[in-house]
Every structure is written in structure tokens, then in C-alpha cells.
Amino acid sequence: MLSIRNVSKQFDGISAIKNVSFKIDKGEIVGLVGPNGAGKSTLLNIISGIYLPNTGSIIFDGVDITNLQPEKICRQGIAKTFQLVQSFPELSAVQNVVVGALFGKSEKIGMKEAIAKAEKNLDYVGYPMNKTDYPVKNLNVVELKKIQLARALSTCPKLLLLDEVTTGLNPRESNDAISLIRKIRESGITILMVEHVMRIIMNVSDRIVVLHHGEKIADDTPLEIAKDERVISSYLGERTYM
């Protein structure tokens, strides 16, 4: 479904991504991990068109999307949530999600239908439905993350890119997030997720790609990743951390 081919990205001469290649098959949940500054968010931003890579290409469903604008990539069927939540602060919760419903991949729909779709997706991600008309500037980070996810889902993606959706959640909320991610995959959506809680990534991923200083150092099943000496020394640290 997605093929990342020899992608590199420099910021002011500093390499954030170095010649990274990997593939994602339809229906997979792929985890993307690595230490802070490894290039995980940069790679998601390249896939979704927010950054242009310096070299390499991104092929999605047979289409070269490397140089497409973010909104065109979204209409091809790739949606993303941001590590630092992005929203329209003066708009209500439901209006923030309506934006996704109106501008995404789906057929052109009217406002009434978009609102219904937005409400359905807010409910689906576990957003408190008594707060759909609250301005989002008054909401907490957990609620904002749910809105962001509902907005992404409302664009009808085939591939969903998640950047640290569980950061800031307590253990019970994290477990709910795991169930939700599985449910999203069962609905037919392929997932590439950045996550730093190893318990979650080991639990939910079919495959894990490890970045270190912008390089891919491993790409394997959770079981093999947990045994990989290079991953242990550069990222996982002591074995007991597992």
C-alpha cells in the first residue's frame, strides 16, 4: 500500500532522515519507534506532504505522492494526527471534525451529513458527547487528541498516521486507546503509528520499524525487535525495560 523509497531529509544541513526505505502492506499496524530526535515525526510529515524530502519517493497505492500538496495527499486517502495537537481553537468540537468530513477523501457531502458524520466519529473515538458544542480552546489535551483522531477518521483514510496519540494518557486511557486502534484497523484502515510506550507498541503492532539518528536500524516483528542487539543498545537499553 505504501512504499517509502530512499527518503532523506535535511534541515539546515543537518540530516533528520537518512536514506530510509520500508513498505507497509494493506491491513497492517506498523509501529515506528526510536529515541527523541530520531526523525519519526519528520518521516510522518514527509509522508503526509507537510515536508518535501530532499531525496527519495513515496508511492501510495501505486501513485507517486512525493511532491503532492498535503490536501491532495489527504484526498488520496492518507490522514494524520499531530504530536502537538493542531486544531481550530475558536470552533466547537464538532466543527473541528466537520472540517475533516468536508475536505477529506469521501464523496462531496452537505453540511448536515458532515455534522452527522462528525458526531458519529466523535462518539466512536470515545469523546464525551455532552461536549460536542464546546469551543476546543476550553478542552483538555485528551479531549483534543480525540477530536484530532475523529477529524482524521472523518476524511475516510485508507492509511492513518498517528504521532504519539497515547502521550499524556493514564494507563486506563492508554488501554482504551489500544482497543480503539485495533477497532480502527478491523474497520479496514491501515495504520502507521509513532509511539514511545513500548508496552503499547509491542502489544498492538504487527511490525516495528526502528529509527536511530534518522537511519532505519531494524524492521521486524515485535518478538524479533525485542531481541535485536542494535535496537537494545541504541533504544531499548536494558533488557529488563521490556
Ligand X SMILES: Nc1ncnc2c1ncn2[C@@H]1O[C@H](COP(=O)(O)OP(=O)(O)O)[C@@H](O)[C@H]1O
Residues engaged in binding ligand X (CB under 6 A): 11, 16, 34, 36-42
Of residues 40 and 80, the one with the C-beta less far from ligand X: 40
Contact flag: residue 48 with Mg ion (CB under 5 A): no
Give the chain's end-to-end CA distance (angstroms, integer). Answer: 30
- Identify which of residues 11 and 241 has a Cβ nearer to ligand X in the complex: 11
At closest approach, how far in Å is the CB of 162 from ligand X?
12
Part of the chain binding Mg ion (CB under 5 A), chosen from 37-45, 61-69, 108-116, 132-140: 37-45
Q: Which is nearer to Mg ion, 195 or 228 (CB)?
A: 195
- Closest distance between Mg ion and the C-beta of residue 160, in Å? 16
* Residue 4: C-alpha distances to residues 42, 50, 178, 229 (Å): 13, 15, 26, 25
CB 209 to ligand X: min, Å = 12
Asked if 154 touches Mg ion (CB under 5 A), the answer is no
Nearest to 39 by CA among 68, 66, 8: 8
Binding site for Mg ion (CB under 5 A): 40-41, 83
